[in-house]
Structure 1
Amino acid sequence: MTIRSLALYACIAAIPCVSLAQQQHHHSGEGISQEALVKVGTVHFPISCSAHVQIPFERGVAMLHSFWYEEARKQFAAVASSDPSCAMAQWGLAMTEWRPFWDGMPEERRKAGIEEIDKAASLDPKTDRERRYIAALRDYLHSDPTQNVVAVRKYADAMGELHTADPSDVEAFAFYGLGLSAAASLDPKDPIASDREALAVLMPGFKAHPDHPGFAHYIIHTCDNPQLAREALPAAEKYAAIAPASAHALHMPGHIFARLGMWKEDIAVNRASVRASELAAKEHLDGVSHEMHAYEFLLYAYLQEGDDTHAREIVQDVSPMIRHLAAIPGIQNDGMYLFTSYMQVEFPSIYHLERHEWNDVLAIAEPAHPLVSSRYFLFWAQAIAAGHLRDASAADQALANAQSIYKAVAAEGSPISAEIHATFLTMKAWQDYAHHRDAEALAQLSASADEQDRVGQAEVDIPAREMYADMLLADGRPAEALNEYKIALHLSPNRFNGLAGAARAAAEVGHLDEARTFYGSLLRLTDDGHASGRPEVSRAKAFLNQQDK
């Protein structure tokens, strides 16, 4: 059985995905049908344009809230074609150029956005509210790109002022929260405090408007770190039902489920997301490259359950999947397709790192035409593997390669860019370890873990705190390792290697009841090891059998 034949929940499999040709509301024939309107969520956003474009305009805004930018763009383009004087259609087109939490605002899209928002302003919007929406986005698009954090915050403040002026304007409320959350994601010093500021807006919005697609979505992004994840669980449990036609909306709860170690729930929503992407491709909708992100989370979840068979299938299928996506017309402008080289590196790296196959990590080749962050991710993985192997030469090479592109990665905006300093400390630690400078290595890795605990941890990652515990255990310091494993498991629950390491450390210091608890959790996580042939499962069974005698 291949990963593309995995069973889905029947309710998800029944999601309709209607052909563009069935669209009845626009003369262009673009978009999705009226039947699918409720499947992307419902918003109320009155505009002064022709009455017949109100529904497609609101559909476009609902899609914006689920980051379905490609299909939202079709809706706004259809509105502009049907009512050329509609300034808010141009605002909508410009909004699709700004993609916070992804790649932000590359120069090409910024230029397109400026052209669109300037046209919106030139169309003389008819209401003060519309003029303020357009002015806020125009100020952002015309801002100095080197001052992006300030500009995003200014945009958020403008949306906040709009909502204060008219508390009934739910969309201004939602975009205010989005702006604050986007600004927090760019804060290198104290992102958790900034996240809490965003939550102070988003949580009341979600409580007042639980069926709105924006609030639930932005709460998940804001809480996508170990420190805040549990606060987003109600939003995660709700969001997929709000916009089940969106592959991204189906996937996003997985961010919180993964943070909380809820692997079965994580697997279910990402299987559903893959199915939605496949349906989108079948019906010639855009945004199908989201399936790569869903498979990324599926791979990680399967590894935590010890289900290496399904994990291996995903790794083996990544190149055929990317070839399949590459053959789709226009895919280069589609959602997550930009990150194909990142996935080509990340999938095998995570698979082999989690399974402690260090030589296999060193053998991973760079893909053709990689993003700079793809190369950096590979060097990060190779530094870790080289450290475990005490291979000083390989560790030195990985560090030299990483250092040569450090500044470029920090500016790129990829997942690993968000924790660039912590990852470099991790690499330096494993380089020291490879050189048998164990004291220096432990100090570096402890610092990396402290920083990651403070600023948050990237998705689909191996926690620095867990690696610190691994190094302590390997260095013959099981009592200290046990303490670090406990902290790591508190922040990243139900990780296979965290539980296995904690059990082994507890056993070595004679804390047999604790060892029993951790090994028992590991066996429950892996369905009593039925799906896993890893030695940690055999060790758990042997320990528990011995204790039962």
Structure 2
Amino acid sequence: MISLHAFLRQVLPIGIAMAMTIGSLSAHEVQGPSPSAGLGALVFPTSANSHEAQAQFERAALLLHLFEYEDAAAAFIKAQSLEPDFVMAVWGEAMTHNHPLWNQLDEEAGRKALRKLGEAPAERAKKAKTAREKDYLSAVEILYSGSGNKVERDARYDKAMQAMATKYPDDDQAQLFHALALEGRSEGVRNVPDYLQAAAIAERMFRRNPQNPGAAHYWIHGMDDPEHAAGAIEAARALSKIAPDAGHAQHMTSHIFIALGLWDDLIQANEEAVRVVYAHARERGKPEVHCFHYNEWLLYGYFQQGRRREANALLLSCKRTGDAGLKATGGKEAATLADRFHDSLPTMRATTVIESGDWNGAAVQLAADHHDGDYSNAVAVFASGYAAAQRDDFAQATESLQALSRIVDATSPDGEAMQLLDYLTILRDDLDGAIAFRRGDVDAAIQRVGRAATRMDMLAFDFGPPVTIKPPRELLGEILLASGKPDDAAEEFRKSLKAAPNRALSLLGLARAEDALKDHAAAASTYAKLLKIWHRADNDLPAMQEARQYMAR
């Protein structure tokens, strides 16, 4: 484990207090963090002459730090309307089209924004009124006007932001955008040293201004894996309070909660996130759709707590409101909604199938439109095939396996989704092993699922619910336990829990393996942990009755 304190010793000294003017480069004297209702507060001086434009710019910058990109772009554009040739507002608009932690870059939209200042970088640079603003503009030009592919440009952009952070040690935003560039230069795949260095920078900025949402946000992102998450629990507890009006701020806290298996906190965070999102949708006259990222996490959290009825209701609500939303919208908005809906619904359906263990239930029967060849199609096929295997419908299970194999064969390594092919291969091997086991070929099942588990272990950790829907270590543990090998099974469940702490199905498997090993004290402890997690579970949850009966004995 790489210590956060080791990186703290490497980062730049704090320098002078943020209440002092950053150089003499701004038309606005810096008195302290400027707040924006519900979004936090920051210090981000510019050469703007209009106080109204500066206030709008600062609000936009807060939204940018919160990854509320659409709202941030609108606010930066509003700032431009209040002050013509507002270089930093154009810089900000261009920044909203770069989503580094999602490995997304809309190059055409970014170039279009920058062209507001002129056709060529040199022409645009002349509009900058200070050396600092010219440096900000020069850095973002790398993303949209530079040579080389995205990976090369991201690396150069990170170097540019590192240089800015060094040149302007009292500019908190330069430090934070350097932290974000560090996290983004690995193209959405966790690079632990870079992430920890970014977390150290963000924590330092948090100490200087605990109301800056970017500080808490990037600190969380830098440590949202099980090995390091405890080091960012302070940021997780703070972010939702810093920016109560930002849905992403409410959700983002759950990156730490899921890495630590804190299901009460995860559910509360995502229930609050969707509340904010729904309220904003209503304000804008847009459809309220109960799908997408925050609801995917909420659904998973409900299942961990044994709240199957609420989880199933959320899935069906996703389907109902998604269909209604598509009917109520048109044009480009409808196309965007359709893409998001057809990605989210299959994921929520697959999660429901695996977590509920209901192999003939409503989720299995649910029609989920999907796109040929992409991940959402793969998880839909996997869920159908896995359920079919569990009910010994080998014809459908084999058909699903063949379809999944075709998806794998048609997928090439992708620089924009660097681990996608690995995830698809793990899905295929998991399903292949599950079918083999149900057919009675235990050796083949162990070999195929073991291969999936080894592949998964080699990948960079991906935050959130299991990307492959059914963790291969957990599936391997279940196969070994059912095959009379409880010692090996217990080891697999422990490995699964290391990657996904307090995951209910892995805890349940571990308790059963410990009981089979006659380690009744350990089994009782694990069942007790499950009962604590299930304090709001459905009363008829079979596994909860099993745990209660064991504890009674």
Alignment check: 8 A CA contact 2:198 2:218 kept: no
C-alpha distance in structure 1 between counterparts of 2:278 and 2:333, whole Å: 17
Pair 1:60–1:244, CA change in 2 (3 A): same
Q: Which residue of 1 aligns with 2:151?
A: 149
Alignment check: 8 A CA contact 2:353 2:364 kept: no
1:130-181 Cα offsets, whole Å, 9 max, x none, are 1221121111123567x32332222122111101011011111111111111
C-alpha distance in structure 2 between counterparts of 1:176 and 1:102, whole Å: 16
* Offset of residue 409 of structure 1: 8.0
Q: Which residue of 2 aligns with 1:466?
A: 474
| Aligned positions of 1:375-394 closer than 5 A | 375-389=377-391, 392-394=394-396
| Aligned positions of 1:439-454 closer than 5 A | 439-454=443-458
Unmatched segments (≥5 aa) in structure 1 = 1-34
Alignment check: 8 A CA contact 1:69 1:96 kept: yes
Q: Which residue of 1 aligns with 2:501?
A: 493
1:349-385 Cα offsets, whole Å, 9 max, x none, are 1112112223456645441557822112223334544
Moved more, 344-353 or 207-216: 207-216
C-alpha distance in structure 1 between counterparts of 2:370 and 2:213, whole Å: 37
Q: Which residue of 2 aligns with 1:135?
A: 138
1:59-109 Cα offsets, whole Å, 9 max, x none, are 11110011111111111111222222212222111111112333602xxx3
* Offset of residue 208 of structure 1: 3.4
Secondary structure (helix, strand or coil) at the match of 1:42 reads strand
Say if 2:185 is the partner of 1:180.
no
Alignment check: 8 A CA contact 1:224 1:256 kept: yes
| Aligned positions of 1:218-229 closer than 5 A | 218-229=218-229
C-alpha distance in structure 1 between counterparts of 2:420 and 2:198, whole Å: 20
**Which residue of 123, 128, 135 maps to 1:125?**
128
Pair 1:153–1:338, CA change in 2 (3 A): farther
Q: Which residue of 2 aligns with 1:280?
A: 280
| Aligned positions of 1:21-420 closer than 5 A | 37-52=36-51, 53-102=53-102, 104-105=104-105, 109-120=106-117, 121=121, 122-123=123-124, 124-143=127-146, 147-187=149-189, 191-284=191-284, 292-326=292-326, 327=328, 332=333, 338-360=339-361, 363-367=365-369, 372-389=374-391, 392-406=394-408, 408=411, 411=414, 418=419, 420=421
Alignment check: 8 A CA contact 1:290 1:336 kept: no
C-alpha distance in structure 2 between counterparts of 1:322 and 1:293, whole Å: 14
Alignment check: 8 A CA contact 1:383 1:395 kept: yes
Say if 2:491 is the partner of 1:483.
yes
Alignment check: 8 A CA contact 1:70 1:335 kept: no
Pair 1:171–1:426, CA change in 2 (3 A): same
Alignment check: 8 A CA contact 2:432 2:448 kept: no
C-alpha distance in structure 1 between counterparts of 2:213 and 2:337, whole Å: 20
Bigger share in helix: 1
Pair 1:482–1:442, CA change in 2 (3 A): same
C-alpha distance in structure 2 between counterparts of 1:348 and 1:37, whole Å: 39
Pair 1:387–1:161, CA change in 2 (3 A): farther
Alignment check: 8 A CA contact 2:56 2:79 kept: yes
Moved more, 374-383 or 53-62: 374-383
C-alpha distance in structure 1 between counterparts of 2:88 and 2:288, whole Å: 27
Pair 1:328–1:211, CA change in 2 (3 A): farther
**Which residue of 520, 537, 546 maps to 1:539?**
546
* Alignment-mate amino acid for residue 465 of structure 2: V
Q: State the superposition RMSD in angstroms.
A: 3.0
Number of aligned residue pairs: give it.
503
C-alpha distance in structure 2 between counterparts of 1:286 and 1:127, whole Å: 41
Alignment check: 8 A CA contact 1:103 1:413 kept: yes
* Alignment-mate amino acid for residue 108 of structure 2: K
Q: Which residue of 2 aligns with 1:438?
A: 442
* Offset of residue 268 of structure 1: 1.2
Moved more, 72-81 or 192-201: 192-201
* Alignment-mate amino acid for residue 173 of structure 1: Q
* Alignment-mate amino acid for residue 453 of structure 2: A
C-alpha distance in structure 1 between counterparts of 2:286 and 2:211, whole Å: 24
C-alpha distance in structure 1 between counterparts of 2:337 and 2:493, whole Å: 34
Alignment check: 8 A CA contact 1:277 1:287 kept: no
Pair 1:409–1:335, CA change in 2 (3 A): farther
Alignment check: 8 A CA contact 1:247 1:290 kept: no
Moved more, 73-82 or 354-363: 354-363
* Offset of residue 58 of structure 1: 1.0
C-alpha distance in structure 2 between counterparts of 1:198 and 1:387, whole Å: 44
C-alpha distance in structure 2 between counterparts of 1:285 and 1:43, whole Å: 31
* Offset of residue 487 of structure 1: 2.6
Unmatched segments (≥5 aa) in structure 2 = 1-33
Say if 2:518 is the partner of 1:510.
yes
Alignment check: 8 A CA contact 1:345 1:364 kept: no
Secondary structure (helix, strand or coil) at the match of 1:39 reads coil
1:468-494 Cα offsets, whole Å, 9 max, x none, are 212221222111111221232233222
Secondary structure (helix, strand or coil) at the match of 1:494 reads coil
How does the TM-score come out when normalised to structure 2? Answer: 0.82
1:176-216 Cα offsets, whole Å, 9 max, x none, are 111111223534xx733443343343333333333211121
How does the TM-score come out when normalised to structure 1? Answer: 0.83
